[in-house]
Amino acid sequence: MTNRYGVILAAGQGTRMKSKLYKVLHPVCGKPMVQHVVDQLSTLSLQKLVTIVGHGAEKVKAQIGDKSEYALQEEQLGTAHAVMQAANHLANEKGITLVVCGDTPLITAETMEALLAQHERVGAKASILTAVAADPTGYGRIVRNAEGHVERIVEHKDATEEERTITEINTGTYCFDNEALFEALSNVSNDNVQGEYYLPDVIEILKNKGEIVTAFQTDSFEETLGVNDRYALSQAEKLMKQRINKKHMINGVTIIDPDNTYISTDSIIGSDTVIHPGTVIIGDVAIGSDCEIGPNSEIQNCKIGDRTVIRHSVAHDSSIGNDVAIGPFAHIRPASQISDKVKVGNFVELKKAVFGEGSKASHLSYIGDAEVGTNVNIGCGSITVNYDGKNKFLTKIEDNAFIGCNSNLVAPVTVGKGAYVAAGSTITNEVPNDALAIARARQVNKENYVERLNQKKNS
Ligand code: UD1
Ligand code: CA
């Protein structure tokens, strides 16, 4: 098989984004644009992938990691100049080089495969991925001759009025014979409105040499959307969201209102799970089968088992078992481990809390830095007092313990197996197994108090 190489252009600042964040790092459905491109390219069995970095180089490299090699473009003199920076990595190679812009997050591996297939079939030196845009403003236009063959690409800013009426656009994805590409690059000039070295000029250069140049027109303009500003970013977000939601629905997940359901690219959801409106699933999330998630819930980096229900709640960086009931209005903060059949009810906040099987905190609790055994019942309003202003301490509540309502467990402290804590207690010492701890003042009733009070007032 022919060798394949990839180049991603990601050195630009992205001026039109008007942002402190470098353009290609802007997320679409939670994943930076350039990472979407890298992930698609990674499935194409490339011998080498080179990312051209410049603005925010360190941040872009940190994002992509070792999935790519890098070439630095110190000054952004245009897309042709950008590709030229990969010469050290690629110039001596034989094969096909795919060039993709880091700001086209919706491009798919399938479409790039189709482009590569046509390129190889016709033995072209260059093939352009094109699309027909309802509004081609800003894109390079594909100029074809009388026979319909591609002649050249003209940038929007350089185009005549007549050329601007062309609706077939350059998507910014191409494949080239590698040697022909690097040879042609040295002949690109910057004699144009923007004073830049345009990669699209390579097309005309190769054409003038009599080489075969083709265009592969995809019928999905949406997939080729180039994100230059926040409006296009919102369009990309919407399209990506539709793509992700559709994938899950085809896989057997019910999404009640796909327009108002936001699922990160790499999340996994089991069949017969129902996602209710207003649910936001962020980062690395795996949800089992037969769950009910939402409405109005935010789940980030969590692993969730089967048949679990999470309503109107927030859960971050935690693991949640099977048959768990969470919410409404619960907050599961990072490093919590919730076993099977646990209940975390309304207005309960957990932080770094381990809950054993069958344990419950049903109402109005804060349980932080805690190890809760199995079948523990934490009464309404009970809290762990985990922080002395400087350090955090551990509370242990062992199997089958029962914590009465509105108790304070002042850490470090342990409530032993099967022990009871009387309602309203402030527990500062260990409670032995099977004991009852009462830590509050005894009730005193002052009989006929009101009568005596009234007598005092009248005297
Ligand atoms: C480019 C194409 C245009 C095409 C459109 C598709 C050129 C001259 N124009 O226009 O024909 O229709 O993409 O979306 O190529 N970059 C660098 N170094 C540079 C300049 C750009 O790495 O010196 C990177 C940018 O970070 C970006 C990509 O190349 O990821 C495209 O650059 P951009 O300025 O967005 O080009 P467009 O004007 O969109
Ligand atoms: Ca662009």
Q: Which amino acid, one-letter code, is at 136?
A: P
Asked if residue 459 belongs to a domain, the reply is no
Asked if residue 235 belongs to a domain, the reply is no
Q: Is the pLDDT of residue 378 over 90?
A: yes
Asked if residue 285 belongs to a domain, the reply is yes
Supply the pLDDT for residue 205.
97
| Structural domain of 40 | 4-224
Averaged pLDDT, 386-394: 96
d(CA 357, CA 191) in angstroms, rounded, equals 71
Give 252's pLDDT tier (boundaries 50, 70, 90).
Answer: very high
CA dist 100 to 83, 216, 249, 278, Å? 10, 14, 30, 34
11 and 85 together in one domain: yes
Find out whether the beta carbon of 192 lies less than 6 Å from any atom of ligand 1.
Answer: no
Averaged pLDDT, 403-409: 98
Report how far ligand 2's centroid is from the alpha carbon of 178 (Å): 23
Residues 6 or more apart whose Cβ sits within 8 Å of residue 15: none
Asked if residue 315 belongs to a domain, the reply is yes
> What are the tokens at 66?
């070792």
Task: Read off the CATH number of the domain in which 266 is found.
Answer: 2.160.10.10
Q: Which atom of ligand 1 is nearest to the CA of 10?
A: 26
Find out whether the beta carbon of 70 lies less than 6 Å from any atom of ligand 1.
Answer: no
208 and 277 together in one domain: no
Supply the pLDDT for residue 291.
99
Residue nearest atom 11 in ligand 1 by C-alpha distance: 140
Find out whether the beta carbon of 282 lies less than 6 Å from any atom of ligand 1.
Answer: no
Task: Examine the fold and report which residue of 166, 190, 224 is the final residue of a domain before the chain moves on.
Answer: 224
Q: Is 418 left (phi over 0), alpha (psi -120 to 50) or beta?
A: left
pTM of the model: 0.92
Q: Is the pLDDT of residue 459 over 90?
A: no
Task: Examine the fold and report which residue of 224, 256, 282 is the final residue of a domain before the chain moves on.
Answer: 224
Express each pLDDT in 415-428 by its tens digit.
Answer: 999 999 999 999 99
Please tell me the total count of domains within the chain: 2
Report how far ligand 2's centroid is from the alpha carbon of 427 (Å): 62
- Strand positions, DSSP E, 54-191: 69-72, 96-101, 126-132, 141-144, 150-154, 168-177
85 and 153 together in one domain: yes
Express each pLDDT in 28-81 by its tens digit.
Answer: 999 999 999 999 999 999 999 999 999 999 999 999 999 999 999 999 999 999
Asked if residue 448 belongs to a domain, the reply is no
Supply the pLDDT for residue 1.
79
Task: Read off the CATH number of the domain in which 162 is found.
Answer: 3.90.550.10
9 and 23 Cβ atoms separated by less than 8 Å? no
Averaged pLDDT, 253-277: 98
State phi, psi for 87 to the nearest 5 degrees. Answer: -55, -45
Asked if residue 444 belongs to a domain, the reply is no
Give 96's pLDDT tier (boundaries 50, 70, 90).
Answer: very high
Give 99's pLDDT tier (boundaries 50, 70, 90).
Answer: very high
167 and 199 together in one domain: yes
Supply the pLDDT for residue 224.
94
Asked if residue 433 belongs to a domain, the reply is yes
218 and 343 together in one domain: no
